[in-house]
A = this chain, B = another copy of it.
Amino acid sequence: MIVLASGSASRRAMLTDAGVAFEVIRPQVDEDAVKASLKAEGIEARGLADALAELKAISVSRRQPGRIVIGSDSIVALGAHESAGGAMLDKPDSRDRAAEQLRMMRGGTHRLVSAVVAARDGVPVWRHVDTAKLHVRAFSDAFVATYLDAEWPAIAGCVGCFRIEGPGVQLFSQVEGSQFTILGMPLLPLLGWLRDVGEMPA
């Protein structure tokens, strides 16, 4: 059985809904410290999501010899186009911070990058990064307050301050790209690879 190196409810739900058998083992890594250090080096969003997904997969893989371990990470980056040193959003740690991030995002197009890495015996054996574009509405301050009345603190763990599968959909005029990428993991490429290596029926 494969291992999902993530405590994320939406990643678990994606695999369960798809009919994949897996076990969750949370990675023991200081994600925030690694993120801060890579950001300080001016890494862009795709590189950062990929590095964090690899870190999680490898961290668990070292303790689970012979097993396929899946790590994944998502980043929301401000602006429609990739740029080194561009602003990225952290998970909001307070309602005020969430309101501030929502006001930064509104009226603009931003990127949501999700990366998935598979590791075995502590070595990455497959990886995929995908970007979706979020067209955020020019919503009112009153909307922000009503939205957070409904969604705080449920979105405290969500980069971008939204659950696309819930009221978060009201933030957007349009989304471009894969729903699974927006939910936090490029599922179809992962399923394809699991079939290629015989872990799922083809």
Q: Using a CB–CB distance below 8 Å, which chain A residues touch chain B?
A: 17-19, 137, 139-140, 142-143, 146, 150, 165-167, 169-170, 172-175, 178-180, 187-188, 191-192, 200-202
A19 touches B202 (CB 8 A): no
The answer to whether B175 and A191 touch across the interface, beta carbons within 8 angstroms, is: no
Docked Cα-Cα span, A201 to B170, in Å, equals 10
Copies in the complex: 2
Known: A17-B166, A165-B17, A179-B179. A188 touches B174 (CB 8 A): yes
9 sampled A-B residue pairs with Cβ under 8 A: A17-B166, A17-B169, A18-B166, A19-B170, A139-B202, A143-B201, A169-B191, A174-B188, A175-B178
Instruction: Verify B201–A146 contact, CB threshold 8 A.
Output: yes
Tell me, in angstroms, the Cα distance from A179 to B179 when the chains sit together.
6
Among candidates B19, B142, B188, residue contacting A175 with C-beta atoms closer than 8 Å: B188
Whether A172 and B188, one on each chain, are in contact in the complex, defined by CB atoms closer than 8 angstroms, is: yes
* Given A174-B188, A175-B178, A167 and B202 contact (CB-CB distance below 8 Å): no
